[in-house]
Structure 1
């Protein structure tokens, strides 16, 4: 059964206008994990990221009467976390960026009756994870925000403070790089007579390209 996502704008209105604590708790549960992961990308330490995210939510509650102008609370909170994370980095300049822990991929191959299919699915995901790790920092961030968080070009542009055109360019570069990397895996698998695995993965990437390019622009 598909989970219905809460209406964040409606929650935000209840928080700001009605001082609704339950709506605030739902908002926190809906975004905290993603915001934490996003902050970790910048500050590299989970404990620091937790403090940053907690501080942002506390400020949102304390200043809720001044935040009625916010139309997209999700983007607003991502920008706030990014700015606070960068502020932390400037304060502690010896901190460097590291890659965050990957979440499970949004697409899956499921066949509970065949253990070999499950092993194949895990292998495909592992190879895609490894390919994503090879992306440049900005392209990787754009790819994750769109693919994993389901954000649109304009939202990602606002969060990263770049133009929607740059978001599109970085996304195209990410997909092109992934195709190159995965093609090399395909050649290795072909030599091992296991080419169907990588053929499936490259096909998925092509479908993902269509979805990301044409369904996430607006």
Structure 2
């Protein structure tokens, strides 16, 4: 594999194209497992290939080149997820623990937990507006049911119903992600 890097360092476009064609789709699929966004996954993988093209002569890879590619994709995905996280100020760790830890979470490693956590954040942000407000008030601001009801001008029963529906949606996604993680391992 280091021969490939040596050839790429010599600006051998044919070797680079073959290298790209051999790994691109698999890496996009892998990135999409973290991001659930094909366009962003493709962008990240393309950035990695550009980086390799531009830095091949200075790269010192001590593992396999394939392993290095997957590690780069994983790390870039985590960095991307951190960069789009608009909820830093809302103490999402409490939210994550409240919603997820009671489920199959003990069976996955820390990186997979972080991946599920970021997907959960995306699900919350995709909930209908009123449901999203209720979830954020409850789990990020620790409001009581009555405080949420007063704040939004709705009944306590509506608050409870919306939280139950949100929890079902979020848990369905988390279970789906955990099943996918088990399939790929």
Query: Which TM-score band (shorter chain)?
Result: 0.3 to 0.5
Question: Of the two, which has the highest radius of gyration?
Answer: 2
More helix by share: 2
Q: TM-score normalised to the size of structure 1? A: 0.41
Q: TM-score normalised to the size of structure 2? A: 0.47
Q: Which gives a bigger RCO, structure 1 or 2 (Cα 8 Å, sep 6+)?
A: 2
